[in-house]
Amino acid sequence: MDANVLPANETAIARAARLLHDGRLVAFPTETVYGLGADAMNGRAVARIFATKGRPRFNPLIVHVPGLPEAESIAVFDERAREAARRFWPGPLSLVLKRRDDSGLSLLVSAGLDTVALRVPAHPAAQQLLRAAGRPIAAPSANRSGRISPTSAADVAAELGRRVALILDGAPCPIGIESTVLDLTGLEPVLLRPGGVSLERLTEVFGTIAGAAANEHAPRSPGRLPNHYAPSLPVRLHAHEARPGEALLAFGPDVPLGFAEVLWLSPTGDLGEAAANLFAMLRRLDRPDFSGIAVMPIPEHGLGRAINDRLRRAAAPRENAEFS
Ligand code: TXA
Ligand code: MG
């Protein structure tokens, strides 16, 4: 494999921390997807993330810290934000908050906004890396912009290869879908991206959660473009019967016949299992021997919302691909 991959042990993590100090890029596992990390206080290192991913500069990055005290030195926390942190950190929730003037973050991280998205990952290797680095780490998903997020070190290597100084291998990501992004800068919490923490769980804690209206996406969450997570093959949703040459992502026990190949997101209809398999299986089916990828209907509740969100983007028309 033409990439620098090391198992995420103590020695490799210490080396990764040194590389981050030197302004280099390190890919590392989190419980959601693999991240492409850089020192969030080093503008040139952050710029390298945008260049390596081919990511538009208007799309801000999530900043990763080991715990709430570090988060509080970067953004302004009120009681509601502290409650969110107590309930869901460490874990798959990113909070959008006002940046502190003395945060020390590169301005590029926030793409010119006066807010910052913060996350405390639970994955032990991510925790160890953040503590060893001793500074906030900006990390988008470790894929080229517009493509499927990687959930294994091999997928990162296939996406970025030698363009990253080191890839820490921490086995496949247990959640497999990105963090939920919740905007807490306004009167009402706003869901900017469904993800690993379900809307139902957020609603238990905060009451009503507004969804970002479609026409608000651009200003509020610049990265939420319709065309994202795009495999090379066309993706067809809510499939009930086969079309010639198609491969199928199946969900639940009753699978229609006639597909060229079938991979099961979850044979029992378990949404957690389906989320964990989604990106890896989309990658496996994205081969020229098939005419397209069909996906059976996924229920729109719990993690199903995040799964359907990613699938809708994977299936969206491709004409805006250069911005995604
Ligand atoms: O699970 C995850 O969140 C992964 C792992 C590596 O932590 N990271 C990730 O990052 O998915 P990325 O860059 O692929 O997605 C970040 C999302 C984008 O939709 C971006 O627009 C939004 O968060 N975002 C970041 N900062 C923001 C801000 N200040 N205001 C609004 N949205 C923001
Ligand atoms: Mg991403």
- Pair of tokens at residue 11: 């020695």
**What are the backbone dihedrals phi and psi of residue 78, each rounded to the nearest 5 degrees, phi first?**
-100, -175
pLDDT digits (tens, 9 = 90+) for 65-112: 999 999 999 999 999 999 999 999 999 999 999 999 999 999 999 999
* Contact yes or no for 173/154 (Cβ under 8 A): no
For a mutational test of ligand 1's pocket, the pick from 36, 119, 181, 224, i.e. the residue with the most ligand atoms closer than 8 A to its C-beta, is 181
SS3 content of the chain, % helix, strand, coil (to 5): 35, 20, 50
Q: Is pLDDT of 181 > 70?
A: yes
> What whole-number distance in Å separates Cα of residue 23 and Cα of residue 45?
5
Which amino acid, residue 308?
N
* pLDDT value for 212: 72
* pLDDT value for 162: 93
Q: Which helix or strand (DSSP H or E) is residue 251 part of?
A: strand 246-251
Q: Is pLDDT of 279 > 50?
A: yes
> What whole-number distance in Å separates Cα of residue 249 and Cα of residue 5?
29
Percentage of the chain beyond pLDDT 70 is 93
Per-residue pLDDT band at 324 (split at 50, 70, 90): very low
* pLDDT value for 321: 46
pLDDT digits (tens, 9 = 90+) for 186-241: 999 999 999 999 999 999 999 999 887 654 444 456 556 666 778 999 999 999 99
More confident residue, 317 or 279: 279
* Contact yes or no for 167/27 (Cβ under 8 A): yes
Ligand nearest to the CA of 146: 2
Tell me what the mean pLDDT of segment 163-187 comes to: 97
* pLDDT value for 79: 97
- b/e 294-323 (16+ beta carbons within 10 angstroms → b): bbbebeeebbbbbbbbbbebbbbeeeeeee
Tell me what the mean pLDDT of segment 293-317 comes to: 96
* Contact yes or no for 132/14 (Cβ under 8 A): yes
Residues with CB under 6 A from ligand 1: 30, 32-33, 35, 59-62, 94, 96, 110, 113, 115-117, 119, 139-141, 178-179, 181, 192-193, 221-224
Rg from Cα positions in the chain: 19
Count of CB atoms within 10 A of residue 207's CB?
9
* Contact yes or no for 235/246 (Cβ under 8 A): no
d(CA 172, ligand 2 centre) in Å:
17
DSSP label at residue 242: -
d(CA 235, ligand 1 centre) in Å:
24
> What whole-number distance in Å separates Cα of residue 284 and Cα of residue 266?
15
Ligand nearest to the CA of 223: 1
Nearest-CA residue for ligand 1 atom 17 is 223
* pLDDT value for 179: 98
Atom of ligand 1 nearest to the CA of 224: 19
> What whole-number distance in Å separates Cα of residue 189 and Cα of residue 234?
35
Q: Is there a cis peptide before residue 29, judged by omega within 30 degrees of 0? A: no
Q: Is pLDDT of 319 > 80?
A: no
> What whole-number distance in Å separates Cα of residue 275 and Cα of residue 33?
11
Ligand nearest to the CA of 129: 1
193 closest CA partner among 144, 140, 231, 142: 140
* pLDDT value for 222: 59
* Contact yes or no for 13/76 (Cβ under 8 A): no
Count of CB atoms within 10 A of residue 256's CB?
14
Question: How confident is the prediction for the chain on average, in pLDDT?
Answer: 93
Nearest-CA residue for ligand 1 atom 15 is 140
The H-assigned helical ranges of 123-244 are 124-133, 153-160, 199-206, 217-220
Lowest-confidence pick of 9-13, 45-49, 169-173, 320-324: 320-324
- b/e 220-247 (16+ beta carbons within 10 angstroms → b): bbbbbbebbbbbebbbebebeebeeebb
Tell me what the mean pLDDT of segment 311-324 comes to: 70
Q: Is pLDDT of 323 > 90?
A: no
> What whole-number distance in Å separates Cα of residue 249 and Cα of residue 255?
10
- Pair of tokens at residue 170: 């921490």
Atom of ligand 1 nearest to the CA of 181: 23
